Structure 1
Amino acid sequence: MGLSLATTTTRLTLLIKFVYTVFPLVNKELSHWQAYAAAHGMRELADQALASITSKSFHCKGGSIYSLYKNVPTADFVRLVVALQTISDYLDNLCDRAGVVDEDAFRQLHLAVTDALDPDRPMNDYYAAYPYKDDGGYLHNLVAVCRQEINKLPAYHLVKTEALRQAGLYSELQTLKHLHPKVREQKLLSWIHGHLPDYPGITAWEFAAATGSTLGMFMLCAIAHNPELTAEEAEKTADAYFPWINGLHILLDYFIDEAEDRQGGDLNFVAYYENSQLTLARLTFFIKQAYAQAGQLPETTFARTVVDGLLAMYLSDPKTEQPAEQTIRQSLLQTVGGFTRLMYLLCRLLRKKHIL
């Protein structure tokens, strides 16, 4: 189905604003947190904070697309996205890179994610079970910024329960997936099977993928800027993102990392597909579901552009140049529309220029 000229113009305008207005705002926020981490706290924690910002800044850039949602104050929302995503990326490093394997410590650390989205609860001692404790206030300050921005959302009461549900699922995934390889798979499956009956048509590992995305949380916060938001719109948004758009996000992420994860012995949800044909079929299924769900949301053009952007960003990654990934990439690009392919080419250009 072709796009009208007006729709195409709207989407191109959105992309231009994203790259030239939002990216600099993201960089400014990240510079602030980088400077804070460098100047405060013990070396072990500061090093992980700095490493997470250096290697994962594209997560903040991608999530900041929601700062361009209708009537959202862009700079304020970038501040929220960068703070929440930086919490996520920092905790990922603390669980994955610091030589610690402790379920209680990981679960305690991840209370920062739910605290960030619930200004009404007292903040926790996130390092209570972790061997390193002095971060100079870094994590508490990140949580505080999120809460300040959440308090500005007039309709947050309509999305709060779902935002916290997704944050809780995200936190449990991160807690379990970083455990020792001998126990993590069984612990994950025991947890997943308690939820899977509510999501017919997807596998255990596809459900796990859906829990691993922060995009649903960002979208719920974005729509909460609308003082006239209805409970029905909030529910539609939740259903569109979980499991479909969230799931597509993380399945694409694992798809490009599969070879790398295999070499490193890291857990990879796409690796559970029996062969490349099944990988292609399931990614295609999630793409179709994501577009169908996006079509049901109030700001349909924006929602579809987000799905386009996910595909463009991940499929343009240099990791997809390997033969097996390249074959799947080409097949996926043939199933999507011309605008998505245009975005894919734009992302390749932005990567060459080191903007993305």
Structure 2
Amino acid sequence: MIELEQSRNQFPKEPIRLMSRVYKFILPGVRNELDGWRQEAGAIPDPELRRQALASIATKEFHCQGGSVYAAANLAQRDVLIPLIVAFQTISDYLDNLCDRSTSMDEHDFRLLHQSMLDAVNPCAQVRDYYALREESDDGGYLLHLVQTCRSNILKLPGYPAAKPYIVDLVQLYTDLQVYKHIAPNRREQALVRWWEQHKHRTPHLRWNEFAAATGSTLGVFMLFLAASNPDLDNDSAEIIQRSYFPHVCGLHIMLDYLIDQAEDEVGGDLNFCSYYENKETMLKRIALIVEGARRDIKRLPASSFHRMIIEGLLALYLSDPKVSEQREIRDVSRQLMRRSPLMRLFFFANSLWIRKQHL
């Protein structure tokens, strides 16, 4: 990975430097981008699409904040990376809301909606009417503008041709997951297991719910966006990055997300991958296994200390969420995962609490 060694010095090596960049450059940049998208979402003609677009920005801002941390590793390209990451994550969050609280249970509708994500990472693809299979369709050009924002910024990434096949692979897996997890509850588990059977050779040590969780993360895509900002990125390096993030770093991200959402998902009747474990002890053991896999995998990457901060930051971000204190069983699991926490994780824990407090 010689071609990535040149950019190693751009990566912040310790938590204080990383968070300094986050506070000074990343959070203001994300806020500025989301303010623009919030204004556009508020002008969507269809009331249901407008409601879901505004809700996705209001309740999932931290997804864009967390994803945009990757721009802290190449501040010279932050004016490309932050708009790209925010637009792509906003598509993801908006479509998740549309499918979660959908007036439809049609998997063809879900697949067409998520085709927008595949078109967003393929600047040469023909755009289409992503709402063609659903009743609500007049978004005033909101989704298309998000797609075009991704594409225009991708064209500014000199290393994108090398990263593209691995990004498309991850986005295709993400799209499949969103289709199968949102269909009728009596069909979704069978569909997800059948889908896992086609792909389990990639992650033979993971259970079906863990593989599915890994496909639900956008972190691998964001890391590849960052890598593509380097003109010297080659195919071998892009493949190593994908394998270093998928499945363990990506899987940890989404398993933590589901861990804290268990009570909420039970009330909403939403699928939750943490509910498929036999008991709390098994769940804790399996998540700990994924944490160790993530720590091992990122050692293959240059500037591995940056990626270690991403892992510890994920644990801190999710385990500091107010939802944890509201669920006794999750509180117990959180305490065990945080036991003997390295100072780095405690540092990010304190910063996560502070950032949340500022956005209340």
Deviations 1:112-154 (A, max 9, x none): 0000000011112211111111111100100000000111111
Question: Counterpart in 2 of 1:165?
Answer: 169
- Contact 2:167–2:224 (CA under 8 A) maintained in structure 1: yes
Superposed displacement of residue 335, structure 1: 4.9
Matched, 1:111 2:112: no
State how far apart, in whole Å, the 1-side matches of 2:257 and 2:358 are.
22
2: CA distance, partners of 1:215 / 1:9 = 19
1:323-338 to structure 2, matched below 5 A, reads: 323-338=328-343
Whole-Å separation in 1 of the counterparts to 2:287 and 2:194:
25
- Aligned residue for 1:197, secondary structure, equals coil
Gaps spanning 5+ residues in structure 2: where? Answer: 1-10
Match of 2:248 among 244, 249, 254: 244
1:141 is matched with which residue? 145
1:97 aligns with 2:97: no
1:293–1:9 Cα change, 3 Å? closer
Structure 1: distance between partners of 2:246 and 2:177: 15
* Alpha-carbon distance between aligned partners in 2 of 1:299 and 1:124, rounded to the nearest angstrom: 40
Task: After TM superposition, give the deviation of residue 8 of structure 1 in Å.
Answer: 9.3
* Equivalent position amino acid for 2:343 in 1: G
Instruction: Please say if residues 173 and 212 of structure 1, whose CA atoms lie closer than 8 Å, have aligned partners that are also in contact.
Output: yes
Distance 1:272 1:63, change over 3 A: same
- CA offset digits 1:284-321 (Å, max 9, x no partner): 11111111112211121211111111111001011111
Contact 1:72/1:225 (<8 A) preserved: no
Q: Is the 8 A contact 2:213 2:254 kept in 1?
A: yes
| Paired position in structure 1 for 2:8 | none
SS in 2 for 1:115: helix
Q: Secondary structure at the match of 2:256?
A: helix
Instruction: State the alpha-carbon separation in 1 of the partners of residues 229 and 116 from structure 2.
Output: 23
1:310 aligns with 2:314: yes
Give the match for residue 122 of structure 1. 126
Deviations for 1:196-246, whole angstroms, at most 9, x for unmatched residues? 122121101100001101111111111011111232221111001110110
Q: Deviations over 1:166-225 (max 9, x none)?
A: 101101111111111111111111111110122121101100001101111111111011
Tell me whether 1:294 sits opposite 2:298 in the alignment.
Answer: yes
- What whole-Å deviation, never above 9, does each CA across 1:80-113 have from its counterpart, x for those lacking one? 0110001001111111123221111111000000
TM-score, with normalisation over the residues of structure 2? 0.93
What is the CA deviation profile of residues 16-47 of structure 1, one whole-angstrom value per residue up to 9, with x for unaligned ones? Answer: 21123211111111110111121233222112
1:93–1:225 distance in 2 versus 1, CA, 3 Å: same
Deviation at 1:279, TM superposition (A): 1.1
Paired with 1:282 and 1:106, the residues of 2 have a C-alpha distance of 30
Aligned 8 A contact 2:313 2:348 in 1: yes
Map 1:197-212 onto structure 2 (within 5 A). 197-212=201-216
Report if the CA contact (8 A) 1:41-1:137 is conserved.
Answer: no
Stretch of structure 1 that moved more, 218-227 or 334-343: 334-343
Name 2:4's counterpart in structure 1. none
Q: Within 2, Cα distance between the matches of 1:326 and 1:82? A: 31
| 1:3 alignment partner in structure 2 | none
- Please give the residue correspondences for 1:45-84 in structure 2 after superposition, counting only pairs within 5 Å: 45-70=49-74, 73-84=77-88
8 Å contact kept, 1:26–1:78: yes
Aligned to 2:194: 190
Work out the CA distance in 1 between the residues paired with 2:227 and 2:65: 19
Residue 238 of structure 2 corresponds to which residue in structure 1? 234
The sequence identity of aligned pairs, in percent, is 43
Q: How many residues align?
A: 349
How big is the shift at 1:72?
5.0
Q: Distance in 2 between matches of 1:291 and 1:105?
A: 38
- C-alpha RMSD over aligned residues: 1.6
1:340 alignment partner, one of 345, 352, 356: 345
Give the alignment's TM-score, normalised by structure 1.
0.94
Distance 1:323 1:263 in 2: 16
Contact kept, 8 Å, 1:233 with 1:297, in 2: the verdict is no
Give the whole-Å Cα distance in 1 for the aligned partners of 2:65 and 2:99.
Answer: 23
Structure 1 counterpart of 2:351, which letter?
L
The whole-number CA distance in structure 2 between the counterparts of 1:8 and 1:188 is: 38
Structure 1: 5+ residue stretches without partners: 1-6
Q: Is 1:257 matched up with 2:244?
A: no
